[in-house]
Amino acid sequence: MAMLIFLVVFPLVIAVLAAVLPVAFHKIRKIIGVIAAMVMSIIPIYLLVTYLDAGPAYFKLENPLIDICMLVVELFIAGLVVYISIRAKRYLPVLLVTVQSAIMFSFELTSGRGIQIEHSLFVDKFSIIMALIIGIIGSIICLYAIGYMTEYHEHYKELKNRRRSFFFMMYTFLAAMFGLVFSNNLLWVFFFWEITSILSPLLIGYRDDTPSIEALFRTLNMNLIGGVAFALGIVFLYSSSHVMELDKMLHLNKSYVLIPAVCIAFAGLEKSAQFPFSSWLTAAMVAPTPVSALLHSSTMVKAGVYIILRVAPALVNTVAANMLMLVGGITFLVTALIAISQSNAKKVLAYSTISNLGLIVACAGVNNDTALWSALLLIIFHAVSKPLLFLCVGIVQYKFDSIDIEDMDYLIMRLPKLTAAMVIGMAGMFLAPFGMIIAKFGTLIAFIDKNPGMAIILAYGTAATVYFWTKWMGKVMTIKYGVTQYDEHLVSRWEKFSLALLAIATVAVSLAFPFISSRLVDPYVQTVFGKFPVIGTFNELIIFVMLVSLLIILPLGLVYYSYINKDYVRVGLYLGGANVDDIHFEGAMDQKQTADLKNYYLTKYFGEDVLVNIGVIISLTLIFIMFGVSVL
Amino acid sequence: MTTMQEIFQSLTIVERMLVFVFIAPLVGGFLSGCDRKLTARLQGRYGPPIRQPFFDVLKLLQKENIVVNKFQNFNIVLFFIFTVFAGALFFAGANILLMIFSLTLSGTFFVLAGYSVGSPFSHLGAEREIIQIVSYEPMIILLAAGMYMATGSFDVAAIAMHKKPLFIALPGVLAGFLYILTIKFRKSPFDLSMCHHAHQEIVRGLTTEFSGPALALIEISHWYENVLLLGIVYLFFAFKPWLALVLTLGIYVLEIVIDNNYARFKWQLTFLSSWLFIAAAAGSNIIVLHWIK
């Protein structure tokens, strides 16, 4: 238990240090960052080793001081929301936060004294998976941020340097995430949930310009709506069954648990940016890249699917679960299609994130062993590859002053190492033999058994996914003979180091797939459903062989083609006339013609404006049905 | 009747893979020769001898290695390796999903080859190749789903040994697969990304900048892929092996006839018509299959 509390408190200490130490002490701040990263990576691994062969463990922790602290922080958060909203002359958040506070405080006053909590904290395989993601990936991103934010302020001189509060919020956020995944007491879960809800908009609004503030309030509003639903769920649960613990809740009679579970799942839908809430996540891309990587790809959005997967067993065989499945499925398909039409790299990443989360939500709705197995693997593999892509795009954004994919021509010639990392990240998202695609086909099996309509959605969504990744990959890998501009030296050591770590991690988790599946995911699925899916040793072997052969062939091939193979004759491109350079040629009538191409984006079919509306309307209907059948 | 199945079962997995690796290019090349002969006859020409594709490839292999950048052929090699691997997995009787993974991977390398040379014609060809992949990808996944629903297994070996006729349970899936088979065979009306005749509007599309040995490798990969695809067609009729063999060849001939009777579609039409047809045929088939269970 001490380890769990330490994991929550330690990032807080670092956060305070980051806030107190002046920016001028750059060296010391860096050292603290490295130490923090090491500690936060090692402790979850220690937890993993300790609990590798053990089942879930529950801990009792009672201290009135903790409750008072939480109350004070909650009051402070409510006050903060009111302050920033009134300062910006926006009144919806004020209303929402008032409603939410009214619910929680009246609840605390009327029944707060009598709540008996047996176990406040717990740890099981799922918490450990989340803790590993938060600890390792989170701290790598924070390391990257140390280098990145320095450049950020050199680049945007007009911005006010609020780096200290930035790092304070980043580390506090990690603390809250740790708290969230280890809490069994639902009031604590809600408390940590609310902290992430407020930190996310504040970090999004870091730049403090019009689009950022717009995004800030959009996120804030949606988070508060989710928060109200969460609060209502808790109050319902306690008033009907006098239970306030996550594990006990799942063993309650269906009639007690249905409404609270639906409310909490709704809050989860909001946090994981499913339709109709997708717009906050795409708007949030104005934030500095480490924020996008940390909150909007690897950790916070995962908190949404985490809570949904936690309460989903309470919904087995209900209409609500089917609605959850459909909301996830629609979100998966529609956002994958929208991603085809986007040329802004960060938006492609955002939509791809929403799409993957949709698949996880759909798995939660399907609610059987195979689905849960795939969902956990999707969480793991996505959490490693996606931040890598965000960090790559963040660097390109500085060097080229653009995040348009069409401006990434010849990236492999200008930033070869970065491009390699980027390609690994993209391959990790959709190509065999990386783990993501294997998890995805786990979902195929789960969907076929449950509902073939979902299998059709998956088939089309996967095709769309292949499209937008492949064309991006092709773009950055275009080679043009004679391009000599080489920008690799512009990438700082910190950034290179974190990219390398994440790229290695992407390959490593796929290599470790049999281990992750058999030692982490299977036992958890076993505790929930009493059985787990079997992939078969032969199939695992083939995947492993594919991965290893790629790992051998790719470097060998690159060495062979760069240094050993001399048996070729180089010629110019065929352009349709006499070449002037790589994109111009002398055409007929002695005219200089240009032959250059951009990618297709198919906006006519997959334009964002139309498809988002369709997704919102369908999912709103489904969510109304979900609430309707649960309440009636 | 069952000798073919007996021979198949008597071989180990590695032996089956090796048989595929050595026999498939011969079969593929031979089929390609038949294709050219038949096409010529349909067009009122005499046509080349059936051995001609082998001569072509041998000649290409002897040509000088002309490139626009020195890495371009690496992608082709990877494309070749993973196409062969996909076929070997299939004929070894392994999991059909793994075969699909490998095939998608090889397809991606082919697209990357097109992008990597940086020529506009090749670029356009690569993009059209992606559109082709996206057009047929849902069908490939639904094919696996349908076969799993009908036979209860993803293993090709188990599907091939299934006693009931698959095409009766999966008529829509078969129809959808035949539709995208034309795309996979790179036949008209869907030969958008590159066609066998260098007279289309994008020169030779994806392969514009590939010549000599690289082009030979593309051709051989294509033979392997064709054999793999016909193997999938075979699965639909596998309850009677000889009948299946005849019908599979019949379908190959049908593809050649289609090739000769249609003008090339635009990519928009290719894309939309495939997606709609797959949804209508294979999608409905799968939903019906779920209900009657």
pLDDT tens-digit readout, B124-150? 889 999 999 999 999 999 999 999 999
CA B88/CA B78 separation, integer angstroms: 15
Cis peptide upstream of residue A64 (ω within 30 degrees of 0): no
pLDDT band of residue B248 (cuts 50, 70, 90) is: very high
Residue of A nearest to B293 (CA): A449
Place of tokens 């990877």: B78
For Cα atoms B236, B242, B246, give the angle at the middle one, nearest 5 degrees: 75
Residues in chain B within 8 Å Cβ distance of A451: 290
Q: Do A448 and B148 touch (CB under 8 A)?
A: yes
* For range B225-248, the mean pLDDT: 93
Q: Do A456 and B286 touch (CB under 8 A)?
A: yes
The verdict on A467 touching B (C-beta cutoff 8 Å) is yes
The verdict on A452 touching B (C-beta cutoff 8 Å) is yes
Q: Do B66 and A569 touch (CB under 8 A)?
A: yes
ipTM score for this prediction: 0.94
Say yes or no: A334 and A302 in one domain.
Answer: no
pLDDT band of residue B200 (cuts 50, 70, 90) is: low
Query: How is chain B split into domains, by residue range?
Result: 12-292
Say yes or no: A472 and A362 in one domain.
Answer: yes
Nearest to A328 by CA among A349, A348, A304, A345: A304
Q: Using the predicted structure, report yes or no on whether residue B1 has a pLDDT greater than 60.
A: no
Question: Domain for residue A583, yes or no?
Answer: no
Q: Do A568 and B108 touch (CB under 8 A)?
A: no
The verdict on B95 touching A (C-beta cutoff 8 Å) is yes
C-alpha to C-alpha distances, A3 to A40, A76, A89, A121, B189, nearest whole angstrom? 11, 27, 43, 11, 64
Residues in chain A within 8 Å Cβ distance of B65: 567-569
The verdict on A548 touching B (C-beta cutoff 8 Å) is no
| Structure confidence at residue A336 (pLDDT) | 95
The verdict on A17 touching B (C-beta cutoff 8 Å) is no
Domain count, chain A: 2
Here the tokens at position A266 are 């709704």
Q: Do A467 and B133 touch (CB under 8 A)?
A: yes
Q: Do A432 and B101 touch (CB under 8 A)?
A: yes
Helix (H) or strand (E) holding B67: strand B66-67
| Structure confidence at residue B201 (pLDDT) | 66
Residues in chain B within 8 Å Cβ distance of A600: 127, 131
Say yes or no: A326 and A308 in one domain.
Answer: no
Question: Domain for residue A589, yes or no?
Answer: no
- Beta-carbon count within 10 A of B127 CB: 26
φ, ψ (nearest 5 deg) of residue A344: -80, 115
- State the nearest Cα–Cα gap between B47 and chain A, in angstroms: 30
Across-strand partners of A123? A57
Residues 347 through 376 of chain A touching chain B, CB cutoff 8 Å: none
Domain boundary among A315, A337, A366: A315
Helix (H) or strand (E) holding A57: strand A57-59
Asked whether the beta carbons of A579 and B209 are under 8 A apart, the reply is no
Name the residue facing A475 among B81, B115, B134 (closest C-beta).
Answer: B115
The verdict on A458 touching B (C-beta cutoff 8 Å) is yes
Residues in chain A within 8 Å Cβ distance of B141: 444, 455, 458-459, 462-463
**Please, what's the largest Cα pairwise distance for chain A?**
91
State the DSSP string of A275-335.
TTSHHHHHHGGGS-HHHHHIIIIISHHHHHHHHHHHHGGGGTTSHHHHHHHHHHHHHHHHH
Name the residue facing B287 among A453, A558, A569 (closest C-beta).
Answer: A453
Share of chain B above pLDDT 90, in %: 66
Per the structure, the complete domain to which residue A608 belongs is given by 319-534+598-632
| Structure confidence at residue A433 (pLDDT) | 85
Q: Do A568 and B149 touch (CB under 8 A)?
A: no
CA A265/CA A282 separation, integer angstroms: 21
For chain B, the first-to-last Cα distance in angstroms comes to 30
A508 Cβ neighbours under 8 A, 6+ residues apart:
none
Question: Domain for residue A483, yes or no?
Answer: yes
Chunked mean pLDDT (size 10), chain A, 632 residues: 89 90 83 91 92 86 84 90 90 90 85 79 92 92 87 82 88 94 92 93 89 92 94 90 87 85 94 91 89 86 93 89 94 95 92 95 92 94 93 86 85 88 93 87 90 93 94 89 72 85 93 90 90 85 89 90 85 76 75 79 87 93 91 80
CA A565/CA A361 separation, integer angstroms: 49
| Structure confidence at residue A215 (pLDDT) | 92
Q: Do B283 and A582 touch (CB under 8 A)?
A: no
Here the tokens at position A230 are 């969460």
CA A105/CA A128 separation, integer angstroms: 32
Name the residue facing A481 among B68, B73, B94 (closest C-beta).
Answer: B68
CA A527/CA A250 separation, integer angstroms: 13
What is the 3-class SS of chain B, one letter each residue?
CCHHHHHHHHCCHHHHHHHHHHHHHHHHHHHHHHHHHHHHHHCCCCCCCCCHHHHHHHHHHHCCCEECCCCHHHHHHHHHHHHHHHHHHHHHCCEHHHHHHHHHHHHHHHHHHHHHCCCHHHHHHHHHHHHHHHHHHHHHHHHHHHHHHHHCCCEHHHHHCCCCCHHHHCHHHHHHHHHHHHHHCCCCCCCCCCCCCCCECCECHHHCCCCHHHHHHHHHHHHHHHHHHHHHHHHHCCCCHHHHHHHHHHHHHHHHHHHHHCCCCCHHHHHHHHHHHHHHHHHHHHHHHHHHC
Residues 185 through 204 of chain B touching chain A, CB cutoff 8 Å: 203
Residues in chain B within 8 Å Cβ distance of A458: 141
| Structure confidence at residue A265 (pLDDT) | 94
Name the residue facing B102 among A474, A546, A571 (closest C-beta).
Answer: A546
Question: Domain for residue A549, yes or no?
Answer: no
- Chains A, B: CB contacts within 8 A come to 184
Asked whether the beta carbons of A459 and B141 are under 8 A apart, the reply is yes
Q: Do A444 and B97 touch (CB under 8 A)?
A: yes
Say yes or no: A286 and A353 in one domain.
Answer: no
CA B135/CA A460 separation, integer angstroms: 9
Nearest to B161 by CA among B89, B251, B248, B241: B241
The verdict on A484 touching B (C-beta cutoff 8 Å) is no
Say yes or no: A11 and A90 in one domain.
Answer: yes
Domain boundary among A295, A315, A335: A315
Q: Do A539 and B95 touch (CB under 8 A)?
A: yes
Q: Do B145 and A459 touch (CB under 8 A)?
A: yes
- Rounded to the nearest integer, the mean pLDDT of chain A is 89
CA A26/CA A30 separation, integer angstroms: 6
Q: Do A462 and B137 touch (CB under 8 A)?
A: yes
Question: Domain for residue A457, yes or no?
Answer: yes
Say yes or no: A356 and A298 in one domain.
Answer: no
The verdict on B209 touching A (C-beta cutoff 8 Å) is yes
Q: Do A474 and B114 touch (CB under 8 A)?
A: yes
Amino acid at A595: A
State the DSSP string of A582-626.
SSEEE-GGG-EEE--------HHHH-HHHHHHHHHHHHHHHHHHH
The SS3 call for residue A566 is: coil
Nearest to A301 by CA among A313, A289, A312, A292: A292
| Structure confidence at residue A224 (pLDDT) | 93
| Structure confidence at residue B196 (pLDDT) | 63
The verdict on A478 touching B (C-beta cutoff 8 Å) is yes
The verdict on B65 touching A (C-beta cutoff 8 Å) is yes
Residues in chain B within 8 Å Cβ distance of A568: 65-67, 70
Q: Do A568 and B95 touch (CB under 8 A)?
A: no
Q: Using the predicted structure, report yes or no on whether residue B11 has a pLDDT greater than 60.
A: yes
Name the residue facing B67 among A462, A570, A596 (closest C-beta).
Answer: A570
Here the tokens at position A360 are 């996880």
Asked whether the beta carbons of B47 and B36 are under 8 A apart, the reply is yes
Say yes or no: A309 and A327 in one domain.
Answer: no
Residue of A nearest to B110 (CA): A474
Say yes or no: A365 and A221 in one domain.
Answer: no
DSSP type of residue B263? P
Residues in chain B within 8 Å Cβ distance of A410: 118
- State the nearest Cα–Cα gap between B140 and chain A, in angstroms: 8
Name the residue facing B134 among A463, A473, A562 (closest C-beta).
Answer: A463
Residues in chain A: 632
Domain boundary among A284, A315, A346: A315
Say yes or no: A55 and A182 in one domain.
Answer: yes
Residues in chain B: 293
Q: Do B115 and A600 touch (CB under 8 A)?
A: no
Say yes or no: A363 and A306 in one domain.
Answer: no
Amino acid at A345: A
Say yes or no: A132 and A212 in one domain.
Answer: yes
Name the residue facing A460 among B138, B149, B289 (closest C-beta).
Answer: B138
Residues 216 through 235 of chain B touching chain A, CB cutoff 8 Å: none
| Structure confidence at residue A569 (pLDDT) | 82
Nearest to B238 by CA among B175, B147, B176, B172: B147
Quick: pLDDT tens for B25-73. 999 999 999 999 999 999 999 999 999 999 999 999 999 888 888 888 9
The SS3 call for residue B200 is: strand
Residues 397 through 416 of chain A touching chain B, CB cutoff 8 Å: 410
Say yes or no: A243 and A346 in one domain.
Answer: no
Q: Do A574 and B209 touch (CB under 8 A)?
A: yes
With 0-12 / 13-18 / 19 or more C-beta atoms within 10 angstroms meaning exposed / middle / buried, residue A124 is: buried
| Structure confidence at residue A157 (pLDDT) | 82
